[in-house]
């Protein structure tokens, strides 16, 4: 389960953006009309930017999220009142389900077999909604308008409210228990903002402002996702070597670091297979991520990790690293095969050093830490050597 702090940190920016636009909608009389009239054009502009960046970085999930909003906005603007009402009826139910579906699907290439299936499904959605707007079906409309609740949520129908409860509940569960906090938090706020815009659709500019807020949230998510891909390791979710280099460039005169290596990892991979080896890496990374003393863990490469301790001396870093070594050594790891399973224990070795006046740059400190790690391995492994 994710900590409340992590959840709050991952939704705070998105919630702030949404709340700003809620305030603008409620106090629209105090906003210059010319600025509010620009809202649809700003939404189209940021949508175009999202589409370009998504295409460039092959993040097609964002394309499938923003294109329906563009079509909805265009429909509200150019369809007659009756057709726009039916569009509102359909998409208030279908778009949140669409949002949940594309949150759940893994990112694939747009022209892979899975990408083509997504495109076909998306075109089917658009075609079905377009057809029933052009040729209304009274039975279908009656289905979308069926009553579930005693209270009225007009202009939202009861089916839309039921879908909202379902979608928000599922995304909230994912937010609490899935490791993809960034996506789940953003999609939760997107769904809430979408429903808020539709519920207050009779207020001037409310829906347009909600669309713009969603566009900004999606764009920020896209930028943060691009940053994550560049600086974070996909397997362990720890910052990678590039992030380590960036953070080392910001260090002051006093810091220490620890080089860490999983003992006998190659032999473990050869014995149990690379899939099990990956699980070991994730287990060790999860322990390293909880390092105390203000330290930060990075995956350096392969089975090697780095712990960085800004403003800490070697004694403090040694203490926290050795506690971590002991924790990992006492954590059982279950290896399963087709017919049985057995419990084994993983050990790590580490070398800890502090920056000295003789070190020309952080990489010289890392070199000394690597030498200390080599000594720990030579001394029998499963220990921490302080240089």
Do residue 268 and residue 352 come from a single domain? yes
Report the candidate in 379, 282, 370 with the shortest Cα–Cα distance to residue 328. Answer: 282
In a domain, 91, yes or no: yes
- Domain presence at residue 376: yes
Q: 270 and 190 in one domain? A: no
Token representation of residue 120: 């076909």
User: Structurally, how many domains does the chain consist of?
Assistant: 2
Residue 302 region, left (φ>0) first, then alpha (ψ -120 to 50), else beta?
A: left
188 close to 170: Cβ distance less than 8 angstroms: no
Residue 334 lies inside a defined structural domain of this protein = yes
**Pair (22, 165) in one structural domain:** yes
Which tokens hold the place of 317? Answer: 């870093």
d(CA 237, CA 285): 8
Q: How confident is the model at residue 159 (pLDDT cuts 50, 70, 90)?
A: very high
Task: Tell me the pLDDT tens digit for each residue of 13-26.
Answer: 898 999 988 888 88
Claim to verify: residue 221 and residue 347 sit in the same structural domain = no
Name the range with the highest mean pLDDT among 85-89, 236-240, 317-321: 85-89
Task: Report which secondary-structure segment, H or E, holds 290.
Answer: none
220 in Cβ contact with 193 (< 8 Å)? no
**Residue 93 reports pLDDT greater than 90:** yes
Residues 33 and 175 in one domain: yes
- The CATH code of the domain that includes 300 is 3.30.70.270
Q: If you ran DSSP here, which 8-state letter would residue 29 be given? A: G
Residue 176 sits in the same domain as residue 320: no
Q: Are 21 and 42 in contact (CB under 8 A)?
A: no
Task: Please give the pLDDT value at position 85.
Answer: 92
Could you tell me the residue range of the domain that residue 152 belongs to? 4-231
Whether 247 and 227 share a structural domain: no
CA gyration radius, the chain: 26
pTM for this predicted structure = 0.76
From residue 2, how far is each of 6, 118, 275 by CA, in Å?
7, 30, 25
Residues 150 and 296 in one domain: no
The answer to whether 348 and 385 have CB atoms below 8 angstroms apart is no
- The confidence score (pLDDT) of residue 338 equals 65
How far apart CA 166 and CA 162 sit, in angstroms, is 6
Q: Is residue 46 part of a domain?
A: yes
- 282 lies in some domain: yes
Q: What is the pLDDT of residue 340?
A: 67
Cα angle: 8, vertex 14, 19; to 5 degrees: 105
| 132 and 253, same domain (yes or no) | no
Could you give the angle at which helices 158-177 and 81-104 cross, rounded to 10 degrees?
20
Q: 231, 259, 283 — which closes off a domain?
A: 231
371 in a structural domain: yes
- Residue 202, pLDDT score: 84
* Crossing angle (nearest 10°) for helices 181-199 and 4-26: 30
Would you say 361 and 251 are in contact if contact means Cβ atoms under 8 Å apart? no
pLDDT at site 9: 80
What confidence tier does 311 reach under pLDDT thresholds 50, 70, 90? confident
Average pLDDT, the chain: 87
pLDDT at 123 over 90: yes
**Residue where a domain terminates, one of 197, 231, 265:** 231
Report the pLDDT averaged over residues 182-201.
Answer: 90
33, part of any domain: yes
Domain limit, last residue, from 210, 231, 252: 231
- Mark whether 198 and 336 lie in a shared domain: no
DSSP state of 106: P
pLDDT in tens, 246-274: 888 887 788 888 899 988 888 888 777 88
Q: Are 6 and 185 in contact (CB under 8 A)?
A: no
Pairwise CA distance, residues 270 & 1, whole Å: 32
Helices (H), the chain: 4-26, 33-37, 39-56, 60-78, 81-104, 113-134, 138-144, 158-177, 181-199, 206-231, 241-248, 265-272, 274-288, 314-329, 362-378
Q: Measured between alpha carbons, how far is 322 from 371 in angstroms, rounded to an integer? A: 17
Beta bridge partners of 299: 305
> Residue 236 domain-assigned?
no
Nearest to 297 by CA among 305, 234, 373: 305
In a shared domain, residues 68 and 37: yes
d(CA 222, CA 52): 11
pLDDT band at 127 (very low <50, low <70, confident <90, very high): very high
Ramachandran bin of 349, using left for φ above 0, alpha for ψ from -120 to 50, beta for the remaining angles:
beta
- Same domain (yes/no): 37, 86: yes
């Amino acid at each position: 389960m994710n900590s409340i702090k992590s959840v709050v940190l991952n939704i705070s920016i998105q919630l702030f953006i949404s709340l700003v636009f809620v305030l603008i909608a409620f106090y629209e009389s105090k906003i210059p009309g010319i600025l509010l009239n620009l809202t649809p054009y700003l939404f189209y502009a940021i949508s175009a930017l999202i589409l370009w960046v998504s295409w460039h970085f092959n993040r097609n999930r964002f394309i499938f999220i923003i294109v329906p909003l563009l079509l909805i906005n265009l429909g509200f603007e150019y369809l007659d009142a009756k057709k726009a009402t039916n569009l509102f009826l359909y998409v208030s139910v279908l778009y949140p389900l669409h949002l949940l579906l594309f949150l759940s699907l893994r990112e694939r290439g747009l022209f892979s077999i899975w990408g083509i299936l997504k495109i076909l499904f998306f075109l089917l959605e658009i075609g079905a909604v377009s057809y029933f707007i052009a040729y209304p079906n009274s039975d279908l409309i009656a289905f979308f308008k069926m009553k579930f609740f005693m209270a009225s949520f007009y202009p939202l129908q009861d089916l839309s409210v039921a879908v909202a409860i379902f979608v928000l509940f599922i995304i909230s569960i994912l937010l609490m228990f899935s490791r993809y906090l960034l996506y789940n938090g953003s999609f939760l706020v997107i769904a809430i903002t979408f429903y808020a815009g539709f519920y207050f659709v009779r207020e001037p500019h409310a829906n347009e402002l909600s669309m713009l807020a969603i566009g900004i949230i999606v764009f920020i998510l896209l930028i943060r996702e691009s940053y994550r891909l560049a600086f974070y390791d996909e397997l362990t979710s720890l910052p990678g070597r590039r992030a380590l280099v960036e953070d080392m460039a910001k260090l002051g005169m006093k810091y220490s670091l620890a080089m860490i290596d999983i003992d006998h990892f190659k032999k473990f991979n050869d014995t149990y297979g690379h899939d099990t080896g990956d699980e070991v890496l994730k287990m060790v990374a999860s322990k390293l991520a909880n390092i105390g003393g203000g330290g930060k863990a990075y995956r350096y490469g392969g089975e090697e990790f780095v712990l960085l301790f800004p403003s800490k001396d070697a004694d403090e870093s040694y203490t926290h690293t050795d506690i971590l070594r002991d924790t990992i050594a006492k954590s059982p790891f279950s290896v399963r095969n087709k017919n049985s399973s057995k419990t084994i224990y993983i050990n790590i070795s580490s070398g800890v050093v502090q920056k000295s006046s003789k070190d020309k740059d952080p990489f010289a400190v890392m070199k000394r830490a690597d030498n200390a790690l080599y000594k720990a391995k030579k001394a029998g492994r499963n220990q921490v050597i302080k240089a």
